[in-house]
Amino acid sequence: MARKKIIAGNWKMNMTPTEAVALVNELKPLVVNDEVDVVFCVPAIDIIPAMKAAEGTNINIGAENMYYEEKGAFTGEISPNMLVDAGVKYVIIGHSERREYFAETDETVNKKVLKAFEHDLTPIICCGESLTQREQGITIDWIRQQIKIAFLNVTADQAKTAVIAYEPIWAIGTGKVATTEQAQEVCAAIRVCIGEIYDEATAEAVRIQYGGSVSASSAAELFAQADIDGGLVGGASLKPDFGKIVNYK
């Protein structure tokens, strides 16, 4: 059975609640596509207004982050229960910016992944290498380590529902895009790694996105690859062009 494409926008730290509603309303008619799961991952303060604006459409609202505890003295954090109660279905975990600026590690990513599954949230698990790591020729080794730790103690049934986003750090927000061959090579290696951890059926079920300056012009070629099941889109998800990415065919 063919995997359904999933195209998610990562709004990062952009859009006030008022701006978020306006953007959802602008993009609503542009992202209609029953063949693709469409997700807007928005700042926490935008989740509820964006959810209301997207009611009755094919747009799912996701979160950009989540903590791995249920509640408590964790000032500024968002719990899984809060996301579930707001109607969230997807949550980005382990984005490179979270790792770089907020000291997230492979171990905390794993804790968040386990907590997301515990609450029936679909994690969009990010992995990716720096330019130095690519130049050193350790890209695949690095990615495999990230994946193996992220999926520690995750069951096969849980893993089948996960989304993995491969984002070469050197291509995020730089305008640089990994070649189609580079993107496919790493996404294929991720699928092989999942197959080694679990089995072929699990590996075939997992959806793997490419992220890193995905544009309307690059989407069709990227998404046509055997192991690329959509994209995690940054800057372009804040513009009408996101509709062209969702309707890439």
Q: Which residues are catalytic?
A: 95, 167
**How many other CB atoms are there within 10 angstroms of residue 226's CB atom?**
9
For residue 61, how far is the Cα from the chain centroid?
A: 12
Tokens standing for 89? Answer: 């279905």
d(CA 195, CA 184): 16
